[in-house]
């Protein structure tokens, strides 16, 4: 019901124009109540007028008004049925279609909501709200299937049958909570004609040493609370300064909402005073949020210079003793054509607020926004912080603790309740195996080193089963290297970026054994040419990486040719090919002292290994591709493949103790 209590009390002066012709006195009375925000009272009179009129246009108009009352009172199920009647009755205002789509989304009827968004898009093609609505339906399912790691718990000890919302911790020990409520214990004995509930008051609950919470009671009755609406408390860092919203009402006329300020002295809140923000006292303001340095006050208002609906504004000053400056709208990156409300500033760097205009789940969603170089980056808090209902009024324990309180209408009765949330410590571990790249066997006693982008470094020795384990930090990139006697270094990379829940990662590090000859794959040359092809350069870049990872080795680059051409020509060609590889490696920063080129001509035809025999079934393991073997192959294609396999480049390790 908080839309009635605080969203609507900020909207008492907004009216929807209705043609007077054909209206009864009863209907006019309902309109007056509607314009004053007395929605609960207006509904009954509208329904009586609806039952008496037979004019279809007027019935559609009344249906729309009743739907609007229920929507603003946060009763989406009731609202949906009356919007449907208004649209079926061909009500002329296209906003009925948009509101109906939004309400259907809140009710979880996504297929029908999609139909209405598409209809609204046809009716009002330039209104981005239709596109946002359609996109949100696609996004909701993804968020529901992959919720964030937050844990949300209903605070049943605090919640009543009425509305309970906008909670804050009022002590650094977190053993005391202030919140707004319309429960029976609220001050005053009158019923709010906007909601049908009592006017809201600020309540306090305390936690005993045994962990049990007390029954909530009125906060400083007679000082803070009045007979009308008081709520949305916001405390400064030291919890000795409080701003809150007060909505007065005199002789049945709402005079609007204002922000009030009070200080705690000797553990007692002093009489609050109004915070003068606007020259025009008729403009209603509320939902205050003070910055950590107390030099910026954020608030909600609907006034000239906004983007539509309720907007977030701020006022600033350079010293606490000064008066607040001129209000500034937070701009179009924060504010939309919808409603932006319930601001909360954390660490003077992150702004939290609720909105029904940004891409969201339905109703009000909680968003967080960070400003960099004058640009706000807005992010939906997603599931489970947000739901298809209204989620709003978030606050945190402190600067470092990613836990706090908020309010939501996600229960079956769609009434405001209090919830707590916390983000468990994310534990990310990595387990791995070090293996021989040739045999796949695990290697015990290998040294595995970790280097993180956050500057971290650690080492582990693999167990008898070749395994190792590290604890990792979120949002960090890691490089892992492995070393063992008789092997070239192996390495692997992993990142924890984007991981939002505890997780165990797995990697394998393959270590090539040091042997006499390594063939370089995909080093290709055209017939009788020494020029490297582009695909050859990709393979050689991997060799560059290996040489950089193993700066202690020197190698010989050996090139081989097929038997076509003269022996002398092939010898020179192979030498040129080997030198072209050396030249490429040098161009990539490898010291020439570590490299030597050797041409072997046609002297060493390739011997087919198991891998090659599996790739080319017309070869078998152990075949030697000499001139006699190739000449006996059946087809020219098979012969050309054999020639290409002979035109290979290999490297052999000459030493493992190089020092520049």
Over residues 414-424, the mean pLDDT reads: 91
Q: Give a yes or no: residue 150 inside a domain.
A: no
pLDDT in the model for residue 16: 34
Question: Would the pLDDT of 254 be above 90?
Answer: no
Question: Would the pLDDT of 23 be above 80?
Answer: no
Over residues 281-287, the mean pLDDT reads: 91
pLDDT in the model for residue 539: 83
Based on the fold, state whether residues 383 and 470 are members of the same structural domain. Answer: no
- N-to-C CA span, the chain: 76
Contacts of 62 (CB under 8 A, 6+ apart): 27, 46, 49, 50, 53
Q: Give a yes or no: residue 534 inside a domain.
A: yes
What's the structural domain count of the chain? 4
Backbone angles phi, psi at 456, to 5 degrees: -75, 150
Q: Give a yes or no: residue 148 inside a domain.
A: no
Over residues 447-451, the mean pLDDT reads: 97
Backbone angles phi, psi at 259, to 5 degrees: -95, 135
CATH of residue 188: 2.120.10.30
Q: Residue 142: helix, strand or coil by DSSP?
A: helix
Using alpha carbons only, give the angle 274, 280, 282 rounded to the nearest 5 degrees. 80
Using alpha carbons only, give the angle 162, 342, 37 rounded to the nearest 5 degrees. 60
Question: Would the pLDDT of 173 be above 50?
Answer: yes
Are residues 464 and 419 in contact, defined by beta-carbon separation less than 8 angstroms? Answer: no
Q: How far is CA 92 from CA 54, 348, 577, in A?
A: 18, 46, 81
Are residues 368 and 352 in contact, defined by beta-carbon separation less than 8 angstroms? Answer: yes
Are residues 536 and 508 in contact, defined by beta-carbon separation less than 8 angstroms? Answer: no
CATH of residue 485: 2.60.40.1120
> What is the per-residue pLDDT across 500-524, written as a single tens digit (0 to 9) for each?
888 999 999 999 998 767 888 878 7
Question: Would the pLDDT of 644 be above 70?
Answer: yes
pLDDT in the model for residue 5: 43
Based on the fold, state whether residues 533 and 411 are members of the same structural domain. Answer: no
Instruction: Count the neighbouring beta carbons within 10 Å of the beta carbon of residue 171.
Output: 13
DSSP 448-499: EEEEETTS-EEEEE--TTSEEEEEE-SS-EEEEEEE-TTB--EEEEEE-TT-
Based on the fold, state whether residues 37 and 102 are members of the same structural domain. Answer: yes
Question: Would the pLDDT of 252 be above 80?
Answer: no
Over residues 216-220, the mean pLDDT reads: 93
Based on the fold, state whether residues 50 and 169 are members of the same structural domain. Answer: no
Based on the fold, state whether residues 24 and 101 are members of the same structural domain. Answer: yes
At 527, is the pLDDT very low, low, confident or very high (cuts 50, 70, 90)? low
Based on the fold, state whether residues 469 and 580 are members of the same structural domain. Answer: no
Question: Would the pLDDT of 9 be above 70?
Answer: no
Which helix (H) or strand (E) covers residue 288, if one does?
Answer: strand 285-290
Based on the fold, state whether residues 38 and 187 are members of the same structural domain. Answer: no
Quote the CA–CA distance of 445 and 434 in Å, as a whole number. 10
Q: Give a yes or no: residue 75 inside a domain.
A: yes
Nearest to 392 by CA among 463, 339, 316: 339
Last residue of a domain, one of 390, 422, 454: 422
Based on the fold, state whether residues 567 and 489 are members of the same structural domain. Answer: no
Q: Tell me which DSSP letter residue 16 carries.
A: -
Last residue of a domain, one of 422, 457, 472: 422
pLDDT in the model for residue 74: 82
Nearest to 19 by CA among 8, 9, 7, 27: 27
Q: How much is the CA Rg of the chain, to the nearest whole Å?
A: 37
At 526, is the pLDDT very low, low, confident or very high (cuts 50, 70, 90)? low
**Cross-strand pairs, 362:** none
> What is the per-residue pLDDT across 377-402, written as a single tens digit (0 to 9) for each?
999 999 999 999 999 999 999 877 88
Quote the CA–CA distance of 648 and 111 in Å, as a whole number. 62
Q: Tell me which DSSP letter residue 359 carries.
A: S
CATH of residue 112: 1.25.40.10
Over residues 362-372, the mean pLDDT reads: 94
Are residues 241 and 234 in contact, defined by beta-carbon separation less than 8 angstroms? Answer: no
CATH of residue 615: 3.30.1330.60
DSSP 641-658: HHHHHHS-EEEEEEES--
> What is the per-residue pLDDT across 560-570, written as a single tens digit (0 to 9) for each?
999 988 999 99
Quote the CA–CA distance of 388 and 433 in Å, as a whole number. 45
pLDDT in the model for residue 253: 53
Based on the fold, state whether residues 162 and 306 are members of the same structural domain. Answer: yes
Over residues 165-182, the mean pLDDT reads: 95
Last residue of a domain, one of 422, 457, 482: 422
pLDDT in the model for residue 24: 61
Q: Give a yes or no: residue 660 inside a domain.
A: no
Q: Give a yes or no: residue 464 inside a domain.
A: yes
pLDDT in the model for residue 15: 33
Quote the CA–CA distance of 32 and 368 in Å, as a whole number. 38
Quote the CA–CA distance of 461 and 442 in Å, as a whole number. 13
Question: Would the pLDDT of 19 be above 80?
Answer: no
Q: Give a yes or no: residue 334 inside a domain.
A: yes
Based on the fold, state whether residues 360 and 236 are members of the same structural domain. Answer: yes
Based on the fold, state whether residues 197 and 130 are members of the same structural domain. Answer: no
Question: Would the pLDDT of 403 be above 60?
Answer: yes
* pTM (whole model) above 0.85: no
List the domain range (segments joined by +) for residue 480: 428-511
Question: Would the pLDDT of 6 be above 60?
Answer: no
489-523 burial: b if 16+ Cβ within 10 Å, else e:
bbbbebebeebeeeeebebebbbbeeeeebebeeb
Based on the fold, state whether residues 390 and 284 are members of the same structural domain. Answer: yes
3-state secondary structure 58-75: HHHHHHHHHHHHHHHCCC
Q: Give a yes or no: residue 416 inside a domain.
A: yes
Using alpha carbons only, give the angle 621, 625, 627 rounded to the nearest 5 degrees. 150
């Amino acid at each position: 019901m908080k839309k009635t209590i605080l969203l609507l009390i900020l909207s008492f002066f907004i009216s929807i124009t209705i043609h007077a012709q054909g209206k009864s006195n009863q209907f006019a009375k309902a309109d007056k109540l509607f314009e004053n925000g007395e929605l609960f009272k207006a509904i009954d009179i509208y329904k009586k007028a609806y039952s008496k009129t037979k004019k279809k246009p007027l019935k559609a108009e009344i249906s729309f008004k009743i739907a609007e009352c229920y929507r603003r009172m946060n009763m989406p199920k009731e609202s949906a049925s009356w919007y449907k009647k208004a649209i079926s009755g061909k009500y002329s205002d296209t906003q009925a279609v948009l509101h109906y789509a939004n309400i259907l989304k809140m009710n979880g009827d996504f297929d029908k909501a999609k139909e209405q968004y598409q209809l609204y898009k046809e009716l009002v093609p330039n209104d981005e709200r239709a596109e946002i609505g359609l996109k949100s339906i696609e996004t909701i399912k993804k968020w529901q299937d992959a919720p964030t790691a937050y844990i949300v718990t209903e605070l049943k000890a605090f919640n009543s049958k009425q509305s309970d919302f906008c909670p804050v911790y009022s002590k650094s020990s977190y053993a005391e909570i202030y919140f707004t409520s319309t429960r029976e214990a609220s001050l005053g004995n009158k019923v709010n004609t906007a909601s049908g509930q009592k006017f809201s008051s600020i309540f306090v609950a305390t936690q005993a040493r045994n962990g049990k919470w007390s029954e909530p009671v009125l906060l400083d009755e007679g000082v803070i609370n009045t007979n009308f609406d008081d709520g949305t408390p916001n405390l400064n860092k030291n919890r000795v300064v409080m701003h809150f919203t007060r909505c007065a009402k005199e002789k049945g006329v709402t005079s609007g909402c204002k922000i009030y300020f009070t200080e705690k002295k000797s553990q007692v809140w002093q009489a609050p005073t109004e915070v003068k923000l606007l020259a025009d006292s008729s403009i209603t303001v509320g939902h205050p949020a003070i910055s950590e340095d107390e030099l910026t006050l954020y608030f909600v208002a609907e006034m000239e210079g906004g983007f539509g609906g309720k907007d977030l504004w701020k006022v600033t000053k350079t010293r606490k003793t000064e008066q607040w400056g001129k209000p500034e709208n937070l701009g179009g990156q924060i504010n939309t054509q919808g409603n932006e409300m319930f601001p909360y500033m954390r660490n003077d760097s992150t702004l939290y607020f609720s909105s029904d205009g940004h891409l969201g789940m339905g109703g009000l969603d909680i968003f967080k926004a960070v400003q960099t170089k004058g640009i706000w980056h807005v992010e939906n808090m997603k599931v489970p912080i947000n739901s298809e209902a209204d989620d709003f009024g978030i606050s945190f324990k402190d600067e470092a603790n990613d836990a706090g309180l908020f309010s939501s209408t996600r229960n079956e009765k769609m009434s405001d309740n209090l919830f707590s949330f916390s983000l468990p410590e994310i534990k990310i571990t990595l387990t791995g195996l070090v293996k021989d790249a040739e045999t796949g066997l695990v290697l015990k006693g290998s040294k595995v080193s970790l280097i993180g982008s956050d500057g971290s470094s650690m080492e582990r020795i693999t167990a008898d089963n070749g395994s190792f384990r590290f604890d990792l930090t979120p949002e960090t990139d890691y490089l892992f290297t492995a070393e063992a006697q008789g092997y070239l270094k192996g390495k692997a990379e992993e990142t924890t970026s984007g991981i939002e829940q505890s997780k165990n990662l797995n990697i394998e590090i393959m270590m090539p054994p040091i042997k006499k000859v390594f063939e370089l794959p995909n080093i290709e040359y055209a017939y009788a040419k020494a020029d490297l092809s582009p695909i050859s350069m990709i393979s050689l870049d991997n060799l560059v990486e290996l040489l950089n990872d193993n700066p202690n080795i020197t190698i010989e680059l050996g090139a081989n040719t097929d038997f076509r051409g003269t022996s002398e020509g092939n010898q020179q060609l192979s030498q040129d090919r080997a030198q072209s590889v050396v030249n490429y490696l040098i161009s990539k920063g490898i010291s020439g002292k570590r490299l030597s080129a050797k041409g072997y001509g046609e002297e060493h035809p390739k011997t087919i290994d198991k891998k090659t025999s599996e790739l080319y079934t017309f070869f078998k393991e152990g075949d030697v591709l000499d001139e006699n073997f190739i000449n006996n192959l059946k087809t020219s294609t098979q012969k050309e493949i054999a020639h290409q396999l002979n035109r290979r480049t290999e490297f052999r390790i000459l030493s493992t103790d190089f020092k520049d």
